[in-house]
Chain A
Amino acid sequence: MKTLSCEDLTFAYARKAPPVFEGQSFCFGQGINLLKGYSGCGKTTLLKIFAGYLKPQAGRILTPSGRLPTAPEYQRREMSFLFQQFNLLPLATVHRNLELAGMGRAEIKDKAGYWIEKLGLAPVAHHKAKNLSGGQQQRAAIARALIKDSQVLLLDEPTSGLDDLNTRLIVQALQEMIDRECICLVCTHDQRLEKLPHEVVDFNRFLPVEGHLLALA
């Protein structure tokens, strides 16, 4: 079974800043892995490290293909990332955003059509991303992440701020991904996603006791 893991991970945002991770190891298997924890516990940071968007100060990241997470090939073909702020290209249409993320692969055109239809984006497929509503942007961002059919799917708060209808659409899309044997890491606080079959990783246990208590307070 393919896994996405890291060993002895150490990461801090600045040299003098307190480390987010210090010698920690994680291993995630195929299926949906829900990362739960309070804000600031390092969920998003871990996703970004697995995506190769942040470089750890120490430790080893093992991707399913064995490539480094910073390798363009890994970022282009093997990994998809959904940002908390959707981060669509504002001047490109929804369709073009999907195509660009697909990196010009031939099969992407059909897949773009499929996901646009599936996530109810057909009426706005040729609208510029900057002109979409929040829900539409989020669905477009999800479509962009799913279109690559990648082995590693990293989703950062995919349903935050969405109504039930939009959330249901996204849950349906993720449900489909489970059958495709990908490793899916989802950072979320949303109870509605717990309907999906999943593994839960509680990030709160990595917080220092004082911090944990403070957070609870």
Chain B
Amino acid sequence: MKLLISIGSYLLKDIFWRWREQPGNVLTRFVVAYALVLPSLGLLGAFALMAENLEMRLTRNGIDMLFITEHIGSTSDDFVAHQLHPALAPLRAHGTMFQLLQLFGSVRTPNAGVTRAVAYPDASLPYLRGMVTPEVPVVFLSDTLPVGMPVRAEIDDYFFSAQVRRPTGMVSKIYQQDVVLVPEGMLPRQESRGFSRVTLFKADRLAALRGLEEAIKLMTEIDKQNVSVRSSLKLLGDLDRLKEKQVYWRFGLALTAGGVLALVLGTLAVLEYQQRAYVIALLRSFGIRRWMVYGMQLLENAFVVNVAAVASYLTLAYFQQVLYKSFGQRTGAGLSFESMFSEILVIFVCVNVGVVISTLPALHILKKDVGTILS
């Protein structure tokens, strides 16, 4: 053990001495690794960020949901009938569905400014559980205001009070901003102007969603109805394509980085080994095994390259924060270490494989007899 420490300390000292004597050598290795890892991480980070954003939007929108909006004018037959559009009736067999009436006109509140007014029919009450109760039928859905806080609201000089609730379930997927939920019939003047009837549909099976969306679009087109259907399926497709690209890029970039590193470091290692052949041979003449010398070379290269890779990551993280701050984003926004972990791991693995490959030519030199080097 003492011997190993003794030899190890000499070899370490030798490494630092060489770094001091020929800083260009170590700097080249550092810069090459840094210059390769930084753009690779940057590109992969951009992909990860795009995927993260898409995933966030998907989660917010509800991946397995359809939002069907019909515009009902005050003169329409539907306005009187208040019935579900016949084209939507078959949806009941494939999932959960309820409706809300989005009224024209804005509600004003002193705390949260102008918001939207939405009326719910009695049939929708079971789906609003947790937000609306018989005791509190009028609620102000907000993500920010304290729950239970009373809010004074006004619409067209009609004043009423609402209690703050958090949007939950399917409702939280459709409204990203604050909204006032009132029972149908509470605001007759606004309702009489017409409304947008929003059908919220949650499919039992995600696989059936695309077919249902197509069917509804087709039927409403045939009926020449003014209906818009919104879903996250397009986003989902985008996400799949992005993830596919991400995999190709991840491996392509990581392999390129590893390959170039192996070439550059390998060439440097051979040159350096030829310069150091004497010291290495001398150490071997004392009975030091080849693997120790090789191990030290490997350790040195791995250290330089990994420090460079860490420096690249820190640079990227720093510039990302600077960029986010300049756009007024909060600190910690953007890519975190956790969200980029798989990218970082792949790059680090490939770069370290490159390090191992780069030291292979040195093995050939280590095979030479000590006696042919030392005269």
Contacts and interface: CB of A to CB of B under 8 A. Distances in A.
Given A83-B374, A89-B10, A104-B2, A55 B285 contact: no
A60 interface: no
A89 B6 CA distance: 13
B375 A103 contact: no
Contact of A53 (B13, B278, B369): B369
B282 interface: yes
Contacts of A104: 2-6
Nearest to A45: B371
A92 interface: yes
Interface in B275-289: 278-279, 282-283, 285-289
Contact of B287 (A55, A73, A91): A73
Interface in B230-284: 278-279, 282-283
B295 to A, nearest CB: 15
Given A72-B287, A87-B278, A91-B17, A53 B370 contact: yes
A124 interface: no
A76 B286 contact: yes
Contacts of A44: 375
Contacts of A87: 278, 282, 285, 374
A96 interface: yes
A109 to B, nearest CB: 11
A140 interface: no
A96 B10 contact: yes
A89 B2 contact: no
Contacts of B7: 100
A154 B279 CA distance: 20
A103 B371 contact: no
A187 interface: no
Contacts of B278: 87
B372 interface: yes
Contact of A91 (B3, B14, B371, B372): B14
B285 A100 contact: no
Closest 7 CB pairs of A and B: A53-B371, A104-B3, A76-B287, A75-B287, A48-B371, A54-B371, A104-B2
Given A53-B370, A104-B5, 15 more contacts: A49-B371, A51-B285, A53-B369, A55-B369, A75-B286, A75-B287, A76-B286, A77-B287, A85-B375, A89-B10, A90-B279, A91-B13, A91-B17, A96-B10, A103-B6
15 contacts: A51-B285, A53-B285, A53-B370, A53-B371, A54-B370, A72-B289, A73-B287, A74-B287, A83-B285, A83-B374, A90-B279, A91-B14, A92-B10, A103-B287, A104-B2
Interface of B: 2-7, 10, 13-14, 17, 278-279, 282-283, 285-289, 369-372, 374-375
Interface of A: 13, 44-45, 48-49, 51, 53-55, 72-77, 81, 83-85, 87, 89-92, 96, 99-101, 103-104
